[in-house]
């Protein structure tokens, strides 16, 4: 048997965490999270953080030497070239961490890889199937505004900075439609897992 490696992705705030929490709690599946590895990539004194500080100056750091994420976010949000440079530093590290963690798991296990930028970061070859969590755009905007305390313009800007959700759905093996209740979402997850 080979590992069943489910790549869980979607748009910002569409429900990836809600799905992975359910899979962990109900099915006790191991969850590997790209966001955690991306944070490890830029830990204090890490080689990548040092490169970032060389490129943007120490003003990109907070007084304790950790990364000023908000400042870096402002740099890359407005500058595509810099965003690409940054991703080239971080994505190989994330890929390596996934490989390490999957090696620790039994060869016949099912594992969930939560990767918000699965397509953008070209990490699809890490997984054996792709699940996309979808919500209709109106719901996505509403939930994002509520959860992150954003204006409608801010919510839309974040959504529009990503690959369109419909495009992700076209590349999915499974689409989980999270536009309705949690109960409806959980039923779809149960079905997808046993299929």
Q: Which residues form the interface with ligand ATP (CB under 6 A)?
A: 10, 12-18, 116, 143, 147, 178, 181-182, 185
Does 14 appear as a known binding residue? yes
Q: Structure tokens of 76?
A: 């890359």
With a CB cutoff of 8 Å and minimum separation 6, the contacts of 34 are 94, 98, 113, 114, 115, 116, 117, 121, 123
Does 151 appear as a known binding residue? no
| Integer Cα distance of 48 and 41 in angstroms | 6
Task: Report in angstroms how near the CB of residue 53 gets to ligand ATP at its nearest.
Answer: 27
17 or 68: CB nearest ligand ATP:
17
14 or 48: CB nearest ligand ATP:
14
Does 10 appear as a known binding residue? no
Neighbours of 132 (CB within 10 A): 26
Torsion of CA 25, 1, 185, 169, to 10 degrees: 140
Does 17 appear as a known binding residue? yes
Task: Report in angstroms how near the CB of residue 47 gets to ligand ATP at its nearest.
Answer: 26
17 or 154: CB nearest ligand ATP:
17
């Amino acid at each position: 048997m080979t590992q069943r490696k489910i790549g869980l992705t979607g748009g910002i705030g569409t429900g990836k965490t809600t799905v992975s929490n359910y899979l962990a709690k109900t099915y006790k599946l191991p969850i590997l999270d790209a966001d955690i590895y991306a944070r490890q990539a830029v830990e204090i004194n890490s080689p990548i953080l040092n490169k970032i500080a060389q490129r943007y100056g120490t003003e990109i750091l907070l007084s304790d030497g950790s990364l000023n994420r908000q400042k870096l976010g402002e740099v890359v949000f407005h500058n595509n070239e810099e965003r690409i440079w940054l991703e080239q530093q971080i994505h190989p590290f994330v890929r390596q961490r996934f490989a390490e963690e999957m090696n620790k798991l039994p060869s016949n296990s099912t594992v969930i890889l939560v990767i918000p930028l699965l397509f953008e970061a070209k990490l699809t070859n890490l997984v054996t199937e792709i699940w996309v969590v979808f919500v209709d755009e109106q719901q996505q905007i509403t939930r994002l505004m509520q959860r992150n305390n954003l204006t409608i313009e801010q919510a839309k800007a974040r959504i529009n900075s990503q690959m369109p959700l419909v495009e992700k759905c076209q590349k999915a093996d499974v689409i989980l439609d999270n536009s309705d209740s949690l109960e409806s979402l959980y039923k779809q997850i149960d079905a997808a897992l046993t299929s």
